[in-house]
Amino acid sequence: MKLSPLKVALGALAFFSITTVALYFGIEKMNLGPKMGGDFTLSGKMGAVSLHDFKGKGVILYFGYTRCPDVCPVSLSRLRGMLKSLPEKASEKIVPLFVSVDYRSDTPAKVDEYAKFFMETAVGLTGTKEQINHAVSLYGTGYQFEETPKSAIGYTVQHGDRFYFINPRGKLVSTLPTTSPTSELKSAIESLL
């Protein structure tokens, strides 16, 4: 039986779609390999800051940028709400760490101010292109500048939208999309206490 080019194309499209969906859900579950996570050094408003500076506290790491029109504000607001629901003593044991990937415009002071707008206890960091690339590669994420000549700043930055949960010993223990069910996110936060 001879297949028409249309049937072959539709079959290939169906296979590609199923494979893409399977890969997407596999990536969203994200198995943590032994090499995922690790220490990095970036710039804070008072100078160099390394992840190991927060040992003894749980860290919730998030990558974004201060001019993000929607994703970052929604994700950070959601995190703020969950941290506020913790008992005060518990919330003192968690550091929200916001890392800006926008090395073109974001300064350490600007990033820290932005992070603290959402959570007083948050720390905002950024760095050079090389420093940021090192940090995002450790955590299996990425970012990409997209030129938008008609916009006010002339570009946007596409970036991942995940929380990375790092225990008080500095080990990455889980990562979840920021759109995960509240119960899953709360459980991940509680695992850091």
Burial label, 36 (beta-carbon count in 10 A; 0-12, 13-18, 19+): middle
Instruction: Please give the pLDDT value at position 20.
Output: 32
Cα–Cα distance measured from residue 22 to residue 111, given in angstroms and rounded to the nearest whole number? 36
pLDDT at position 152 = 82
Q: Which pLDDT belongs to residue 27?
A: 32
Residue at 91 is within a domain: yes
Do both 25 and 56 map to the same domain? no
| 125 located within any domain | yes
How much is the pLDDT for 150?
86
- Please give the model's pTM, rounded to 2 decimal places: 0.82
- Looking at residue 158, the DSSP 8-state letter turns out to be E
What is the span of the domain harbouring residue 149? 41-190
The pLDDT of residue 88 is 86
Verify that 110 and 185 share a domain, yes or no.
yes
Query: Does residue 35 lie within any of the structural domains?
Result: no
All residue ranges of the chain with pLDDT < 50 are: 1, 3, 5-30
- Distance in angstroms (rounded) separating the CA atoms of residues 144 and 23: 21
Calpha distance 166→59 (Å, rounded): 5
User: How many domains does the chain divide into?
Assistant: 2
pLDDT given for residue 29 in this prediction: 39
In this structure, the answer to whether residues 18 and 46 fall within a common structural domain is no
**Residues 102 and 21 occupy one common structural domain:** no
**Residue 36, in any domain of the structure:** no
